[in-house]
Structure 1
Amino acid sequence: MNKKSGTSADDSKRKVTRKVTVAVIGAGTAGQNAFRQASKIFDNIVIINEGFWTTTCIAVGCMPSKLLIAAADRAHEANHSAEFGVHATAQIDGKQVMQRVRDERSHFASYIKEQVDSWPDHKKIAGRACINEHGLIEVNDEVIEASKVIVATGSSPFIPDGWAEKLGHTLLTSDTVFELTDLPKSMAVVGAGSVGLELAQAFTRLGVDVTLFNREKRVAGLKDDDINNKAIDCLNRELTMHLGSKISNVGTQANGSNNSSAAFIDYEDSAGESQQWQGEYVLVATGRRNNIKQLGVEYLGVELDNKNRPKHLSEKTGQIGDLNVYIVGDANVHLPLLHVASDEGYSAGSMVCDNKKAAYIRPPATPFSIVFCAPQIVNVGLSLPEIQQDPTLEYVIGRVSFDNQGRSRVMGVNCGLLHIYGCKKTDRILGASMVGPDAEYIGHILATAITNDLSIKAMLDTPFYHPTILEGLRTALRDVQQKMEIPYQYHDTQEASF
């Protein structure tokens, strides 16, 4: 609890139970990296953490979701191989599916646990930290005075106001869904971003009756209309999606068949008609928010904007202005990605040690995102709207469809579209957007090309082995090259690769 305003600073100081040079609040990816780095110089250091001593990625993010997707892909391949002359029906054991997710998650977490267990006990405090009006850290029965503070408190799922109370036990988030001991019969997923798409498709492939809702007629935040429309076309083949729908109410109602309660969603569909969905669970995938507001960082001199983002944040070091305060990882709402959080934690830990050379965050040289649905969705470099808003950029769009691409058709995964945005003046790639097979690998190649300033010609001079899905990349690059040389004319580029 914060100190009462009537308590004097001197009285508060006398209650200090520990003085440290560095206090790290939060033990996720960023916090652990900061602690390790700062511990190389300072012995008088403490790390404070509430909840699990592992990372969002391992506990509730990247790894359990990919484990679920892996099971879903196995089931999908078994159930959809008739075109190859292979006839089978997957027998899905929901309890075993969810148990493997947790078992493998524990395996990954064991490496983090081993590392945390190696830290001296007196440097670890399990509990909720709160900063009082004197800038002191209160946790459990301790009052800690720290010369330097690194805040790495992470993020939590955003739940619309009132939904938790209305939905009760039928509400799921990405923080709780992997604790299910069995696969449910039905589920609504609200939000068609990366988390919503991945989980909706995975549960669908595992036999759950899933309905996906999204306010916009977009998926995965795609900003290129053609890629977005193609993604919707591909995903609609197995997903029930209500895009452009407006949810007016949620709640639970009695389920007469077994005296239990079922969830419901009242919504207006894209045609303006009132509808209701009913089912077992509602998985809310409407993004995450940082866990900084309740901490009391304002007592350290930190200002927050109306979205709880710290002002005066150095994206190079995580430092707040000239304060001895560093906010890193998901807590600063900069780029909520594991590799970014890792760099930011390392930087802050170096910065407090006055190791300025190591205290420089390596910003992602090229923006890059992947959604691990099927087909995969990738964005690299500048988006199409960003390019269009810059009047100095003279660009063309190289295009390839994967609907008839040779290897994609052989594999039965031939649904997709790639756009490469090329600069006519520089012969360089500005960005790309894609939905299709092997998009994660094509995305990496394009990110490498942009980062290393490779020309379209240099890209086309590299080998593309036949027959591979990556040959589609070559076709799109050739389309860019051709359109740079002639007046731009849009045409449908199919990659056959026969």
Structure 2
Amino acid sequence: MTLNILENDMNKPSGSSAVNTLPKVTRKVSVAIIGAGTAGQNAFQQASKIHDDIVIINDGFWTTTCIAVGCMPSKLLIAAADRAHEANNSAEFGIHATVQIDGKQVMQRVRDERSHFASYIKKQVDSWPDHKKIAGRARINEQGLIEVNNELIEASKIIVATGSSPSIPDSWADKLGDTMLTSDSVFELTDLPKSMAVIGTGAIGLELAQAFTRLGVEVTVFNRAKRVAGLKDDDINNKAIDCLSHELTMHLGSTINDVGSQANADGKRSSGFIDYEDSAGESQQWQGEYVLVATGRRNNIKQLGIENLEVELDDKNRPKNLSKKTGQIGDLEVYIVGDANANLPLLHVASDEGYSAGSMVCENEKAAYIRPPATPFSIVFCSPQIVNVGMSLPEIQQDPSLEYVIGRVSFDNQGRSRVMGVNCGLLHIYGCKKTDRILGASMVGPDAEYIGHILATAITNDLSVKDMLDTPFYHPTILEGLRTALRDVQYKMEIPYQSHDTQQDSF
């Protein structure tokens, strides 16, 4: 791709200013990879099997979003929060305890364990030849050359794996100043704050809001819609709000009019504030120590100069004409993978896309095929957990050819859930009457991550509801709730208009 651009410029008349100002190339490579996260690292390792003249360019930490600011530190914080919550909420079992939370130790362990996970990535990166690694911010210029530090690199093939970063509404960073936190900065806190607002009820917002609440921080959650975790099944959404409201103070359906910071009386630091209208339209103000902005993430591609490689972006910075099978842009020798393409920003997807792109540039057609998750599957690791598998209810309802039923089970009185004191939840399984197959499911409840995996396996392997019910369900387990919902699906397929008790299992 870049060679074609340069050749076109070289063919211009000798008096052309384009020729006179043509930049001098300092390095030519077969493959340049921009970004060294999960997708970039996998692309580099795969492409290196064939090409020796390869370079990987990275701005910032040489590890992954998951390890540095995503999955791992958030789960470390949740693990500490769960320990505190169980100790503080065991009176019903006759266990009485007074918990002392050392905020500095909590946050130090998060960073220490994060460094432990990162050390494995560092060891791998350190094994790569130094001349193939460039630390710096890359930009693609009008000639299709990669500018980085003092180098101009001409690459025959380019893999873009620049990841994502928090999406922050315009002017909020300036207005909030050092009172603003994002998922990229929150784990750098050296101690637990006294108070915090969390804006956004997606996976990041819910997980961090609940974790900090359980660790003794006074947390208030704001969201424009009366929804959490992007749930599209109204009954599951309402149940999730009900379960989470036992712990979280949430202002759902609120409109934020302004944010800012103001100096405290002690003059040592500022506090943040949020001016908002509540769901009833009343003007309110929140004040506290920090404002955690969890309003999603956007791909890091806008400032790269990708348009100079004839790559077009839509209004949400998503590349047009992107092959979801290979990550390639049309017939250009440009591949955009991982969070950078804004397709499915998940680690296992980024890993597969990076592997595929690295294989593609090696002309390894067999391995150069992205294997997208056969079944859509998402988990929010709050408590109770929230899971979506397969088709959503609106997707099913929009397809007139699908005659469906909804199998239901409440976990409010499910045997093992009640024994463990985690009995708040609801599972819906969407079954197809014509095929006896599971179309999808949505759930809030205990052990949802495991129930979700079982349902995803069933959908992926085309198991019938009968196949599922033929498998053993051990008593007493929370997984018995899955059997109850499957039985309800089966019953409604046969007698769809009669009520059926889905409240509890046999004891």
TM-score (norm 1): 0.98
Q: How far does residue 487 in structure 1 lie from its aligned partner after superposition? A: 2.8
Q: How far does residue 256 in structure 1 lie from its aligned partner after superposition? A: 2.0
Q: Secondary structure at the match of 1:400?
A: strand
Gaps of 5+ in 2: 1-8, 10-14
**Paired residue for 2:112?**
103
Match runs of 1:60-459 below 5 Å:
60-257=69-266, 260-459=269-468
Q: Secondary structure at the match of 2:318?
A: coil
Q: How far does residue 397 in structure 1 lie from its aligned partner after superposition? A: 0.2
Q: Distance in 2 between matches of 1:387 and 1:114?
A: 47
For residues 361-399 of structure 1, give each alpha carbon's deviation from its aligned partner in whole angstroms, at most 9, with x where no partner exists: 011000000000000000000000000000000000000
Q: How far does residue 253 in structure 1 lie from its aligned partner after superposition? A: 1.6
Q: How far does residue 323 in structure 1 lie from its aligned partner after superposition? A: 0.1
Q: How far does residue 490 in structure 1 lie from its aligned partner after superposition? A: 5.5
Alignment-mate amino acid for residue 453 of structure 1: D
Q: 1:115 to 1:13 in 2, by over 3 A?
A: farther
For residues 444-477 of structure 1, give each alpha carbon's deviation from its aligned partner in whole angstroms, at most 9, with x where no partner exists: 0000000000000000000000000000000000
Q: Distance in 2 between matches of 1:196 and 1:492?
A: 35
Q: Distance in 1 between matches of 2:369 and 2:401?
A: 31
Aligned residues: 495
Q: 1:85 to 1:341 in 2, by over 3 A?
A: same
Indicate yes or no: 2:504 matched with 1:495.
Answer: yes
Q: Distance in 2 between matches of 1:252 and 1:494?
A: 49
- Check whether the contact 2:405–2:496 (CA below 8 A) recurs between aligned residues: no
Indicate yes or no: 2:67 matched with 1:58.
Answer: yes
Q: How far does residue 257 in structure 1 lie from its aligned partner after superposition? A: 4.8
For residues 264-305 of structure 1, give each alpha carbon's deviation from its aligned partner in whole angstroms, at most 9, with x where no partner exists: 000000011000000000000000001101000111110111
Q: Secondary structure at the match of 1:354?
A: coil
Alignment-mate amino acid for residue 401 of structure 2: T
- Check whether the contact 2:313–2:319 (CA below 8 A) recurs between aligned residues: yes
Q: Secondary structure at the match of 1:334?
A: coil
Q: 1:317 to 1:9 in 2, by over 3 A?
A: farther
For residues 8-57 of structure 1, give each alpha carbon's deviation from its aligned partner in whole angstroms, at most 9, with x where no partner exists: 55456551000000000000000000000000000000000000000000
Q: Secondary structure at the match of 1:387?
A: helix
Q: 1:92 to 1:458 in 2, by over 3 A?
A: same
Alignment-mate amino acid for residue 212 of structure 2: F
- Check whether the contact 1:467–1:497 (CA below 8 A) recurs between aligned residues: no
- Check whether the contact 1:149–1:326 (CA below 8 A) recurs between aligned residues: yes
- Check whether the contact 2:356–2:367 (CA below 8 A) recurs between aligned residues: yes
Q: Secondary structure at the match of 2:115?
A: helix
- Check whether the contact 1:12–1:134 (CA below 8 A) recurs between aligned residues: no
Alignment-mate amino acid for residue 342 of structure 2: V
Q: Secondary structure at the match of 1:229?
A: helix
Q: Secondary structure at the match of 1:21?
A: strand
Q: Distance in 2 between matches of 1:259 and 1:322?
A: 57
Alignment-mate amino acid for residue 340 of structure 1: V
Structure 1 window deviating more from structure 2 (257-266 vs 368-377): it is 257-266
Q: Secondary structure at the match of 2:371?
A: coil
Q: Distance in 1 between matches of 2:275 and 2:436?
A: 51
Q: Distance in 2 between matches of 1:355 and 1:265?
A: 53
**Paired residue for 1:26?**
35
Q: Percent identity at matched positions?
A: 86
Alignment-mate amino acid for residue 432 of structure 2: C
Q: Distance in 2 between matches of 1:451 and 1:93?
A: 45
Alignment-mate amino acid for residue 29 of structure 1: T
Q: Distance in 1 between matches of 2:500 and 2:251?
A: 31
Q: Secondary structure at the match of 1:252?
A: strand
TM-score (norm 2): 0.96
Q: Distance in 2 between matches of 1:306 and 1:489?
A: 48
- Check whether the contact 2:407–2:488 (CA below 8 A) recurs between aligned residues: yes
Gaps of 5+ in 1: none
Alignment-mate amino acid for residue 137 of structure 2: R
Q: Distance in 2 between matches of 1:206 and 1:141?
A: 47
Q: 1:165 to 1:468 in 2, by over 3 A?
A: same
| CA-based RMSD | 1.5
For residues 289-337 of structure 1, give each alpha carbon's deviation from its aligned partner in whole angstroms, at most 9, with x where no partner exists: 0110100011111011111110000000000000000000000001000
Q: 1:260 to 1:287 in 2, by over 3 A?
A: same
Q: Distance in 1 between matches of 2:213 and 2:234?
A: 26
Q: Secondary structure at the match of 1:133?
A: coil
Q: How far does residue 491 in structure 1 lie from its aligned partner after superposition? A: 5.4
